[in-house]
C-alpha cells in the first residue's frame, strides 16, 4: 500500500496542502440537487442532464478505487476600485492550473512508485457534486452560503479531485462538522436575497447572473448589484471564518485591475486583455452588459452613458430593461 504521506508530499510540491484520500463514495443524497433544480437553474439546464452522474461519482469513473480531494486557496484580498469581481477570477483561469497540478501529482506518483497510474483530474470540469465530495472527505463543511468552509482556511478555496486506481492509504480531513451555528451573516448580507434554507436560488444569484446568464438581468435585481460585474463574494466577505483565509497558493491566481482599465477594454482588445482568465467565459456582449448593470447599481451615470449606446442587441435590451431613457434619472442611487 502507498502511504498517504507519499501523496501528501507530492501534492505539497504543487502547493496543495489541504488533502484527503477516500474510497469511491456510493450514491450521494440527491435532495439538495433536486431542490436546486426545482427552484430553477436558468441557463444551467445541463445540470439536470447530468443528474445521475453527479449523484454517483463511482459510475462517473468506474475503474477508480480512490478519490484524492484537495482545496487550493486563491487570492483573499478584494480588487481595486468600485467595480467588483469575484476573487477567484483575479488571475489566470484556475481550472487549467489546478488540473495540471493534480495531473503532475499523478505523474510524480508514477515516478516514485515505479508503477503506471491511471488518473483523471477534475476541477469544475466534470459532472461532480464537488462540495459534497469535499465535505465527505473532511475538507470542510457546507455553510449557509452553500460553500465549503474550513475552520482554519475559510472558503476562498478552489476544489480539485484526482481519480486513481492506486492502492493508496485512506485519510480523511478533520473538518466535516458544521460550524455555522446560529450565524446568518451571509443570508442577511446577500444583496439579492438569494440564500434560502442553506441553498442558493440560482436565478437570483449575482454570480449566476453575471457569468452564466445569457439574457437581460431583471431591473429588480440589477439595482442591488453593488458594482459586481463578474461573480460576487458578499456571502464570503461577511463570513467570520474567512479571517483565517491564507494567501493564494499560486501567484498566477492573483491580480488586480482598475475601473478605468475595465471600461477601456474594446471589442478588439477583449480577447487579448482576458486571455487565459475565467472572465473570458463571457462574450463581449455579456461583458458590456455586466459593466452597464454594475455602473447602474453604483449610480455611475458617466459609466452608464459610455456603454448604453453600444451597438449590441444585449446591451440595448439591458438598457431598455433599466429604463435608462426615462427622464427621471438613469440610476436609482442618483435619481
Ligand atoms: S454570491 Fe452574492 S448573490 Fe450569490 S448567494 Fe452569495 S451573496 Fe448572494
Ligand atoms: S456567514 Fe455565518 S452562516 Fe454564513 S457560511 Fe459563514 S459562518 Fe455560516
Pocket of ligand 1 (CB under 6 A): 145, 190-192, 194-195, 200, 205-207, 232, 234-235
Q: Which residues are catalytic?
A: 124
> Which residues 6+ apart lie within 8 Å of 168 measured at CB?
1, 2, 4, 7, 21, 66, 68
pTM, entire model: 0.93
Output the CA 180–ligand 2 centroid distance in Å: 5
Nearest atom within ligand 2 for CA of residue 145: 5
Output the CA 227–ligand 1 centroid distance in Å: 13
Per-residue pLDDT of the chain (335 residues; tens, 9 = 90+): 999 999 999 999 999 989 999 999 999 999 999 999 999 999 998 888 888 888 998 888 899 999 999 999 999 999 889 999 999 999 999 999 999 999 999 999 999 999 888 999 999 988 899 999 999 999 999 999 999 999 999 999 999 999 999 999 999 998 879 999 999 999 999 999 999 988 999 999 999 999 999 999 999 999 999 999 999 999 999 999 999 999 999 999 999 999 999 999 999 999 999 999 999 999 999 999 999 999 999 999 999 999 999 999 999 999 999 998 776 555 665 54
| Choice from 141, 146, 186, 242 to test ligand 2 binding pocket (greatest atom count within 8 A of CB) | 186
Return the residue whose CA atom lies nearest to atom 6 of ligand 2: 239
Grid coordinates representing 77 are: 484580498
Q: Please name the residue that has the C-alpha cell 489546478.
A: 98
Give the ligand with the smallest distance to the CA of 178: 2
What pLDDT does residue 50 have? 83
Write the CA distances from 146 to 102, 130, 200, 216, 274, integer angstroms: 25, 12, 7, 25, 28
Is the distance from the beta carbon of residue 249 to the nearest atom of ligand 2 less than 6 Å? no
Is the distance from the beta carbon of residue 186 to the nearest atom of ligand 2 less than 6 Å? yes
DSSP state for residue 2 in the 8-state scheme: B
The answer to whether 33 touches 44, Cβ cutoff 8 Å, is no
Return the residue whose CA atom lies nearest to atom 6 of ligand 1: 235
Q: Is 135 left (phi over 0), alpha (psi -120 to 50) or beta?
A: alpha
Instruction: Give bridge partners of residue 72 from the DSSP assignment.
Output: 158
What pLDDT does residue 59 have? 86
Could you write out the DSSP letters of every residue in 137-186? TTS-EE-TTSSEEBTTTBS-EEEEEEEE-S-B--B--S--S---TT--HH
What pLDDT does residue 278 have? 96
What pLDDT does residue 335 have? 45
Amino acid at each position: 500500500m502507498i502511504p498517504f504521506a507519499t501523496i501528501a508530499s507530492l501534492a505539497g510540491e504543487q502547493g496543495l496542502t489541504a488533502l484527503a484520500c477516500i474510497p469511491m463514495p456510493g450514491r450521494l443524497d440527491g435532495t439538495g440537487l433536486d431542490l436546486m433544480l426545482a427552484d430553477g437553474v436558468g441557463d444551467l439546464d445541463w445540470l439536470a442532464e447530468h443528474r445521475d452522474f453527479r449523484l454517483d461519482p463511482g459510475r462517473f469513473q468506474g475503474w477508480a478505487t480512490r478519490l484524492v480531494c484537495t482545496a487550493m486557496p486563491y487570492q483573499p484580498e478584494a480588487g481595486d476600485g468600485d467595480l467588483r469581481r469575484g476573487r477567484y477570477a483575479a488571475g489566470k483561469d484556475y481550472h487549467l492550473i489546478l488540473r495540471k497540478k493534480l495531473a503532475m501529482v499523478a505523474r510524480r506518483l508514477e515516478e516514485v512508485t515505479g508503477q503506471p497510474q491511471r488518473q483523471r483530474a477534475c476541477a469544475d470540469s466534470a459532472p461532480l457534486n464537488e462540495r459534497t465530495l469535499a465535505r465527505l472527505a473532511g475538507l470542510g463543511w457546507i455553510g449557509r452560503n452553500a460553500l465549503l468552509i474550513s475552520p482554519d482556511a475559510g472558503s476562498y478555496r478552489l476544489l480539485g479531485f484526482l481519480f486513481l486506481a492506486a492502492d493508496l492509504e485512506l485519510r480523511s480531513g478533520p473538518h466535516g462538522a458544521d460550524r455555522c451555528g446560529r450565524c446568518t451573516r451571509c443570508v442577511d448580507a446577500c444583496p439579492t436575497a438569494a440564500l434560502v434554507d442553506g441553498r442558493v436560488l440560482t436565478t437570483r444569484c449575482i454570480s449566476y447572473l453575471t457569468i452564466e446568464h445569457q439574457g437581460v438581468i431583471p431591473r429588480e435585481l440589477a439595482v442591488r448589484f453593488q458594482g459586481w460585474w463578474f461573480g460576487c463574494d458578499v456571502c464570503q466577505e461577511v463570513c467570520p471564518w474567512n479571517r483565517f483565509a491564507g494567501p493564494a497558493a499560486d501567484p498566477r491566481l492573483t491580480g488586480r485591475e482598475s475601473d478605468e482599465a475595465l471600461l477601456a477594454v474594446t471589442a478588439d482588445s477583449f480577447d487579448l486583455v482576458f486571455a487565459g482568465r475565467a472572465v473570458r467565459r463571457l462574450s463581449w456582449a455579456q461583458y458590456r452588459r455586466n459593466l452597464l448593470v454594475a455602473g447602474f447599481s453604483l449610480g455611475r451615470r458617466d459609466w452608464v452613458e459610455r456603454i448604453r449606446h453600444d451597438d449590441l442587441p444585449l446591451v440595448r435590451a439591458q438598457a431598455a430593461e433599466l429604463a435608462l431613457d426615462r427622464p427621471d434619472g438613469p440610476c436609482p442611487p442618483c435619481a
